[in-house]
Structure 1
C-alpha cells in the first residue's frame, strides 16, 4: 500500500507530506512524493524568453530540491520514500498517478504559496477531489 503526496514547496504541502509520513510509519506503508512541473510554455515569439531550456532546468532543479529535502525527512522517520517529477496540470497528473493499484490515498496541501505552488495547488486540491478515483486527504 502506498500514499501519494503532491508537493510544491509550500508550507501546506510540507504539512501534507509530514502527515503522510506519520500515517505510513504507523501502517508500514510507503510514500511517493510527486512534484508536478507546469507544462512548458508555448510562445509565439521565441525571443521573449531567450533560453527556455535553462528556465526548464531551473524549475526542475527547484522541484528536485523540494523532493530531496522532504524525502530525507521521511526516511529519517523510517518511512520508505520514493520521488517523482512529472509534468502537466497538477490535478490531472496526480489523479493519473493515483491510478496505480498500490496507491490507497492521495494527500495534498490545501493551498500552495510559492510561485510554482500557486500554479500547482491554487485550485489543485479542489479539482483533485472531483477527478481522483482514490481517497484524497487535504491537509490544512
Structure 2
C-alpha cells in the first residue's frame, strides 16, 4: 500500500502527515510526500518565472522559481525525515503545476491508495478566489482523500 501526503510547510499539512503516519505505520504502508510548485510569469515585472505572489501592504513580493523549489525541497526533506523517524518508508516528489491538478495526477500515476491533505495550508490567502486545495482534491482525485483538521 502506498499513500500520498501533500505537504506545504503549514501546521495543517504537519497534522495531515502526523495523522497519515499514525494510521499507516501499523499497516506497513509506504508514503510519498509531495509538494507542488506552480511557476507563473509576471509580465510587468519581467519575464522571469515566479512561483507565487503575495501582497504585503502596498508591496508585491514575488518568490522566484528557484526560491520556491529550494523551499519545497526543504519541506519535502523534513517531511520524509519525520516519516522515517516514525518507522514509515517514505519518498519525496516535487511536482510542478497547480496543486489541485498535479497532486491527483501524481496519485493516479503512482497508483496511490489514497491522499492525505491538511484542511487549510499556506494557500489559504487565495481560497476566496480559487477555492480550497483540499476541497478540490476531494472533487478531482480518483482515490480516497482524507482531509485532516
TM-score by length of 1: 0.86
Note if 1:15 corresponds to 2:15: yes
1:30-41 aligned at under 5 Å gives the runs: 30-38=30-38, 40-41=39-40
The CA deviation at 1:51 is 5.5
Q: CA RMSD in A?
A: 2.3
Note if 1:109 corresponds to 2:108: no
Counterpart of 1:129 in structure 2 is 138
What is the CA–CA distance in structure 1 between the aligned matches of 2:73 and 2:114, rounded to whole Å? 22
Equivalent residues of 2:7, 2:79 under 8 A apart: no
Equivalent residues of 1:105, 1:136 under 8 A apart: yes
Aligned partner of 1:65 among 56, 70, 74 = 74
Counterpart of 1:4 in structure 2 is 4
Report SS of the residue matched to 1:35. strand
What is the CA–CA distance in structure 2 between the aligned matches of 1:99 and 1:68, rounded to whole Å? 23
- The alignment of Structure 1 onto Structure 2 pairs a total of residues equal to 135
Q: Which has the higher contact order (CA 8 A, sep 6+)?
A: 1
The CA deviation at 1:21 is 1.2
Counterpart of 1:42 in structure 2 is 41
The CA deviation at 1:102 is 3.7
Note if 1:83 corresponds to 2:92: yes
Q: Give the structure with the larger strand fraction.
A: 2
The CA deviation at 1:100 is 3.3
Segments of 4+ moved more than 3 angstroms: 49-54, 116-122
TM-score by length of 2: 0.81
